[in-house]
Amino acid sequence: MSAAPEQVEFLYGVDSSVADDSRFYEPPRVVKFRITKKTPKRIYYARRNDGQTVSTGFVDRQRIEADGEVYSRTRGWWSPDFHLYLNPPELEQATKPNLGELKAAMAAAHPDRGGTEAEFIAARARYENARTKETSA
C-alpha cells in the first residue's frame, strides 16, 4: 500500500518591488511561501533572501488564523513576506490611463486656470508618460 502524498501548504505575500527605471515596471504579483512546520503557537515557512539562500521565517499561528493576515516584525516593507496572508490575496490591476482625462486634468491644473505651477508640471508628466507608453505599445 502506497503512502498518500503529503499535502503542501503555503502562506502568501505580495511582491510589489519597483525598479528605479519606470521602463521596467512590473505589476504586483502574489508570491507563495511554503509552510515547513506548524506548532500550536507558530507557523514556519521557507523564504528566499537572495534568490539562492533559503531561510526560515515564522508567524504567530493564532493571529494569522484569526485575522487571515499578519505583518512581520523582522522584515522590511519592501519584502514580499512583510505582510503575509493565509489565502491568496486579490490584487487590483491598474487600469489603462485615459489620455483624454489626463489631458483635461493637465489643462485644469494650468496656472492660468487657477492651478499651481507644481500641479501643472505633475499633471503634464502623467500625461506625457501615458502618451509615451501608448505610442510605444
Q: Where are the domains of the chain?
A: 10-85, 99-136
pLDDT value of residue 51? 62
Cα distance between residue 31 and residue 50, in whole Å: 15
Task: Give how far the C-alpha of residue 69 lies from the chain's centroid of Cα atoms, to the nearest Å.
Answer: 15
pLDDT in tens, 83-131: 899 999 988 766 666 888 888 888 888 889 888 888 888 888 888 888 8
Residue 31 has pLDDT above 80, yes or no: yes
What is the SS3 assignment for 98? coil
User: Of all residues in the chain, what percent carry a pLDDT higher than 90?
Assistant: 27
pLDDT value of residue 137? 60
